[in-house]
Chains A and B, each alone.
Chain A
Amino acid sequence: MHIEIEDISKEFGATAALHPVSLSIPSGALVALLGPSGSGKTTLLRILGGLEFPTAGRVRFDGQDATGLTVQERRAGFVFQSYALFRHMTVFDNIAYGLNARPRAQRPSKPEIARRVTRLLDLIQLPAIGPRYPSQLSGGQRQRVALARAMAIEPRMLLLDEPFGALDAKVRKELRQGLREIHDTTGLTTIFVTHDQDEAMELADLVVVMSMGRIEQIGRPQDIRAHPASDFVRNFISA
């Protein structure tokens, strides 16, 4: 899905978290929103997901105005930094949650739900963990379950907030590869937020460098590296 962000701004009281920013994300791209904390990258992601509302500006999905869509209507697969797994549910029930939450008329049958959950568990290469509870999983497993849960609703896009932030270096490398593979098989427009320039450069097709609520530069990783648009970008990517 093609996403267009037109002059989106966000104020929290008197402070501006986002100055008007505009950005066009082509369908099927894997995009990194890169920047230090306070740069507005998470706010932008949450606005796309419908969890935060812009003070002004428009969001379009495939040309359609999506600014007023509720979070439920957006069908954005959102992976939270803390994963936000439901602790009182098994992994199976976590992944099935979005399907079970649909109105009865649109809800798949029980066997169909089970089939889809099984397929997603295979996709994240953890076929046997369905009956377990989140508290019994490792950090990396939780992250993959959160991803599978977001995929289960057949999302129109994937939004990930610091998806590898809480993991150690080794697991982080493996899961980066995993996200790349899932993106390539599904072809979903995928946007992830990170403060780690290596991660952004290695994984993304398109990197959006942000600072202080503004977009500093948009470009392919090699272009940004070769031609940083400002001192800030040069310093940030060489850090």
Chain B
Amino acid sequence: MSDVPIRFRAATEETPLARFLLIGGVLLGLAVLLFAPLIVVFFEALRDGALAAVASLANPEAASAIRLTLIVAAIAVPLNAVFGIAAAWFVTKFDFRGKAILITLIDLPFSVSPVVAGLCIVLTFGANSLIGGVLVGHGFPIVFALPGIVLASVFVTFPFVARELIPVMIEQGRAEEEAALTLGASGWRVFFTVTLPNIRWALLYGVLLCNARAMGEFGAVAVVSGKIRGQTATMPITIEMLYNEYLSVAAFSLAAVLALLALLTLTLKTGLEWRYADQLAANHRH
């Protein structure tokens, strides 16, 4: 009598069929669109066996590309971190006119095509330009040299750290810093003992994304680097050159290294999101 022989479905649920189709469609779509290309990178790299893949990484061209990419990231990422911290401090600790415009300008590089970014740098610092001409005259070329690659990398990653820090620092307000100041702490001491501990995970998160993009940037670097073998060819540029020379295993082996870096980045990023969700920007999704 008190048994209920009825199958209930909650008012906020889709029918099982709709649910099955949705999950299935999304899984299939992501498998084809995301996972298949990722798998292909490793498959092609290992086509002639692991030895061939590793050997292709050891050749001078690939080795020099890896070295250059590490150097570029080692310069561009700290520059960006310093900018991000300074910009976030400026924007969140002070009130001034034109703040909204400043934030829009900081975000601007996100909406500029990497190729256009490279073009802008060539037009500014190229040998034919006013500034570039003077610098080249003093033996300090920018375009087709390391500084140009660094500039291009900083341009395309410009907002990464700042936009992670700004929301977090807005949320945390200024009270803790003000309290530390009333207790007699100096400005730097306040930053290192009060602000930095509060933003460290968001900072790491931004640096992680910035690094991934800086090491992988192709369009902007392709324009400014001149693609000189062994000198200005970063890893992505070298992948292009090897691929166009039909050195498939070599190209995909180098690509696999970058793909591993991408997977590492995603893993660390996801770990941060799970562990420190409350200390990251509320809208950490781009």
Chain A interfacial positions (CB closer than 8 Å to B): 6-7, 9, 20, 50-51, 53-58, 67-68, 70-71
Contact of B2 among A7, A51, A70, A71 (CB under 8 A): A7
A71 and B10 CA atoms in complex are apart in Å by 9
A54 neighbours in B (Cβ, 8 Å): 4
> Which listed residue, A51, A55, A71, touches B4 by the CB 8 Å rule?
A55
The 5 closest A-B pairs by CB, nearest first: A53-B8, A68-B6, A56-B2, A71-B11, A7-B2
A134 to B6 CA separation, bound complex (whole angstroms) = 37
Question: Is the CB of B48 closer than 8 A to any CB of chain A?
Answer: no
The closest CB in chain B to the CB of A51 belongs to B11
Are the C-beta atoms of A58 and B6 separated by less than 8 Å? no
- The reply on B95 being an interface residue by CB < 8 A is no
Q: Is B3 an interface residue (CB 8 A)?
A: yes
Bound complex: CA A71 to CA B6 (Å): 14
Tell whether, in the assembled complex, residue A57 and residue B11 are in contact, meaning their CB atoms are under 8 Å apart. no
Q: Which residue of B lies closest to A50 (CB)?
A: B11
B window 1-23: CB within 8 A of A: 1-4, 6, 8-11
Known: A50-B11, A51-B11. A67 touches B6 (CB 8 A): yes
Bound together, the chains give a CA A6 to CA B9 distance in angstroms of 21
Task: Pick from B2, B8, B10: contact of A58, CB below 8 A.
Answer: B2
Within the assembled complex, what's the spacing in Å between the Cα atoms of A56 and B1? Answer: 9
Mark B residues whose CB is within 8 Å of A: 1-4, 6, 8-11
Alpha-carbon distance A7/B13, docked complex (angstroms) = 27
Q: Are A67 and B4 in contact (CB under 8 A)?
A: yes
Contacts of A57 in B (CB 8 A): 2, 4
State the CA gap A56–B5 with chains docked (Å): 9
Residue of B nearest to A8 (CB): B2
Which partner residue on chain A sits nearest B12 by CB separation?
A: A51
CA distance A67 to B4 in the complex (A): 8
28 sample A-B contacts, Cβ–Cβ < 8 Å, listed by A number: A6-B2, A7-B2, A9-B2, A20-B2, A50-B11, A51-B10, A51-B11, A53-B4, A53-B6, A53-B8, A53-B10, A54-B4, A55-B4, A56-B2, A56-B3, A56-B4, A57-B2, A57-B4, A58-B1, A58-B2, A58-B4, A67-B6, A68-B4, A68-B6, A68-B8, A70-B9, A70-B11, A71-B11
Nearest-CB residue, chain A, relative to B5: A68
For A71, list chain B residues within 8 Å (CB). 11
Q: Which residue of B lies closest to A57 (CB)?
A: B2
Kindly name the residue among B1, B3, B8, B9 whose own CB sees the greatest number of chain A CB atoms within 10 A: B8
Cβ–Cβ < 8 Å partners of A53 in chain B: 4, 6, 8, 10
When distances are taken between beta carbons in the complex, the residues of chain A under 8 Å from B4 are 53-58, 67-68
Other contacts beyond A58-B2, A70-B11: 15, CB < 8 A: A6-B2, A7-B2, A9-B2, A51-B11, A53-B4, A53-B6, A53-B8, A53-B10, A56-B2, A56-B4, A67-B6, A68-B4, A68-B6, A70-B9, A71-B11
Cα–Cα, bound, A48→B265 (Å): 50
Task: Report how far A71 CA is from B8 CA in the complex, Å.
Answer: 10
- Minimum CB–CB distance from A181 to chain B (whole Å) comes to 30
Hey, which chain A residues are within 8 Å of B2, CB to CB?
6-7, 9, 20, 56-58
- With a cutoff of 8 Å between Cβ atoms, the chain B residues found around residue A6 in the complex are 2
Complex: how many Å from CA A7 to CA B2? 7
Point out the residues of chain B lying under 8 angstroms from A55, CB to CB: 4
Shortest distance between the CB of B227 and any CB in chain A (Å): 51
Complex Cα distance A97/B11, Å?
Answer: 17
CB distance from A21 to the nearest CB of B (A): 12
Bound Cα distance from A56 to B8, whole angstroms: 12
Give the CA-CA distance A58 to B6 in the complex, in Å.
Answer: 11
Instruction: Give A55 to B5 CA distance when docked, in angstroms.
Output: 10
Chain A: minimal CB distance from B119 (Å): 42
Taking CB atoms, residues of chain B closer than 8 Å to A9 are 2
Which B-chain residue is minimally distant from A9 (CB atoms)?
Answer: B2
Contacts of A7 in B (CB 8 A): 2
Interchain CA distance A71-B11 in the complex, whole Å: 7
- Separation in Å of the B236 CB from the closest CB of chain A? 44
User: Could you say which residues of chain A place their CB within 8 Å of the CB of B3?
Assistant: 56
Nearest CB of A to B185, in Å: 43
Q: How far is the CB of B62 from chain A (nearest CB, A)?
A: 55
Residues of A within 8 A of B1 (CB): 58
User: How many Å lie between the Cα of A55 and that of B8 in the bound state?
Assistant: 10
Q: How far is the CA of A55 from the CA of B10 in the complex (A)?
A: 14
B contact residues around A70 at 8 Å (CB): 9, 11
CA distance A70 to B15 in the complex (A): 13
The CA-CA distance from A68 to B9 in the complex, in Å, is 10
Q: Which residues of A contact B11 (CB under 8 A)?
A: 50-51, 70-71
Distance between B248 CB and nearest chain A CB, rounded to angstroms = 52
CA distance A51 to B8 in the complex (A): 10
CA distance A126 to B6 in the complex (A): 42
